[in-house]
Structure 1
């Protein structure tokens, strides 16, 4: 999907809880096998002892609005994403996020597409902004707390550890009523975003299990390994690997093409990889990307682990804060969501950009 250069990511933020669990502590506690340490490639995971996923999303959203220097009333759309329990049953976390960031009248809804939901929310928000010129800005958030007993952040899935965080991005049109104005600048122009879906792979997440009447009926905690193992025994690993490789290649090629660029364009400096374990990245992503792109592949997840829907937006924040991108430079962000959809976004640093100093770290209640 081609957006041109007037669709702007005003700013993007990540919010992490202060507590952490190191790999060494996880091994000592018997939560992680020693032989799995190198396959994960992690130093530790952020762990929320207090804040829920929606509360961390609110913290990130407030930070984004503050960085932008906007009023919360400028936000006309709130799209919240998550993959795990949000703290209440039969409840709407998107409306909580909208109200708590100060935009209670914004259209609010959730986007559920596995760990790829934030990318899909960016795409949907772009369509809203095209269709509704008076909308103002869209706030996209993610928030998850992978706490026991429902999750085991070290072993609920193969090849990754789950970290707690909230993320947020503000999306707007450069000619909207919340235009940047002189001297303020945007983090990125969102040039394109391509997606590819292979819905037949939904079977991976439930293979061998009947449909149940209530959550956690199949196991005491969410164990994604069991159905995946059952699926691989029935269909083989090569089927998924082949589909994943083809889909990853396609979203990269399509996104670069839609952005009006060549794959070897020297302005493309980096591609940010999802925050999966080292083994998964080396097996599924790196061989394809090395064949397609000359850009440097970046891994930002060693100290955060997989953030669920948060990977995509956290990677945009780290590209801004941890790389030497200059005005005119281009970067790609790639992600995937189980059962399965892949996405790739192409962003460019606008020619007019003044970095903003982040405010003091705040908790979800606004206290330092």
Structure 2
């Protein structure tokens, strides 16, 4: 979807202290061979900080940078990938109360690690509707330091990290102009992340941990029995959404200065993102990702903030924001830094 007059007016993050993977190996949390394969150097861990508070802290930074006041906002979209607090309670309204404190819509976007990009797409649609207020606040926060998750072994694709991010989307002005945004899904692959788990009762209600590796092993076992799992390479969806969104922006991959992607380990990052996009590590944000980990939906905006505030991108640079989620779905946005 080509976008006109939609901007990122401010971005903020909340990143607690980190634990090195060297320390994790020494303490027996992380396998030494896996550390070598992953290339990961450190992971952000949140201790006992509630995930919504990470979102609030990030949002306050983004709001201060945006130049907007609370009266400018018509909605707040909060995304998350892990449990936020009391069951049945509304994390989006907690974030709203502690940021804008306005009687506007506060919506939870359950789009997994694609949550912030999906929220940006929703915000773009809203802001192109005449008569709506000029800004939308996007927030996310996750803390995986819970008893039912082992961040170090839950998946070989990544190490789960804790953190928050926020962005102010505006129709007035901003440091980056959104040129195009879109998504593409392949629902035939949804079963890959379901594995052999029954859907009711939900696993978390009976004490089952979040473990993607167990579900992957289920399909390896099925394959050994002659049962073919859902087939497909997720990199194809990544390449498809990037090519389409770039074309809508009137650009090609050669016009992109940097790519902000999810915080995967090096092998999966290259296989699912970099090779399908036809780029090397030099245009990626690997040097950021390997010291942060996979924060869920925050990854892409953590990287964008680092690139912009450190001066690694400046006026005239085009940046590709791209992510993925279980389902399977890939999302992409093209932004141009304007100041």
The Cα of 1:189 is off from its aligned counterpart by: 0.2
| 3-state DSSP of counterpart to 1:283 | helix
Matches of 1:161 and 1:284 in 2, distance apart?
Answer: 16
The Cα of 1:277 is off from its aligned counterpart by: 0.7
The answer to whether 1:278 aligns with 2:266 is yes
Give the match for residue 10 of structure 2. Answer: 11
Q: Deviations over 1:87-145 (max 9, x none)?
A: 21111111111111033312110111111111111000111111243322100011000
Alignment of 1:290-305 (within 5 A): 290=278, 296-299=283-286, 300-305=288-293
The Cα of 1:320 is off from its aligned counterpart by: 1.1
The Cα of 1:220 is off from its aligned counterpart by: 4.3
Give the match for residue 337 of structure 2. Answer: 349
The Cα of 1:239 is off from its aligned counterpart by: 7.5
The answer to whether 1:259 aligns with 2:257 is no
Give the match for residue 357 of structure 1. Answer: none
Give the match for residue 190 of structure 1. Answer: 178
Matches of 1:241 and 1:286 in 2, distance apart?
Answer: 21
| 3-state DSSP of counterpart to 1:264 | helix
The answer to whether 1:115 aligns with 2:113 is yes
Aligned pair partner of 2:321 in 327, 330, 333 = 333
Give the match for residue 142 of structure 1. Answer: 140
Matches of 1:231 and 1:343 in 2, distance apart?
Answer: 26
Give the match for residue 234 of structure 1. Answer: 222
The Cα of 1:78 is off from its aligned counterpart by: 0.2
The Cα of 1:246 is off from its aligned counterpart by: 1.5
Contact 1:76 1:103 in 2 (8 A): no
The answer to whether 1:2 aligns with 2:7 is no
The Cα of 1:231 is off from its aligned counterpart by: 2.5
| 3-state DSSP of counterpart to 2:153 | coil
Alignment of 1:201-212 (within 5 A): 201-212=189-200
Please, which runs of 5 or more residues in structure 2 have no aligned partner? Answer: none
Alignment of 1:45-56 (within 5 A): 45-56=43-54
Contact 1:39 1:159 in 2 (8 A): no
| 3-state DSSP of counterpart to 1:347 | strand
Higher helix share: 2
Normalising by structure 1, report the TM-score: 0.85
Contact 1:57 1:141 in 2 (8 A): yes
The answer to whether 1:320 aligns with 2:308 is yes
Matches of 1:193 and 1:134 in 2, distance apart?
Answer: 20
Matches of 1:346 and 1:241 in 2, distance apart?
Answer: 29
Q: Deviations over 1:208-232 (max 9, x none)?
A: 1222324435654211111122124
Contact 1:209 1:218 in 2 (8 A): no
Q: Deviations over 1:149-180 (max 9, x none)?
A: 02111111222111111100000112xxxxx4
Give the match for residue 30 of structure 1. Answer: 28
Aligned pair partner of 2:276 in 266, 288, 293 = 288
Give the match for residue 160 of structure 1. Answer: 158
Give the match for residue 235 of structure 2. Answer: 245
Q: Compute the RMSD of aligned alpha carbons.
A: 2.2
Contact 1:205 1:227 in 2 (8 A): yes
The Cα of 1:325 is off from its aligned counterpart by: 2.1
The answer to whether 1:171 aligns with 2:158 is no
Matches of 2:313 and 2:18 in 1, distance apart?
Answer: 29
Matches of 1:345 and 1:232 in 2, distance apart?
Answer: 34
Aligned pair partner of 1:43 in 41, 44, 48 = 41
1:48–1:297 distance in 2 versus 1, CA, 3 Å = closer
Contact 1:75 1:103 in 2 (8 A): no
Aligned residues: 335
Matches of 2:9 and 2:273 in 1, distance apart?
Answer: 29
Q: Deviations over 1:283-314 (max 9, x none)?
A: 222221227x9982332211110010111221
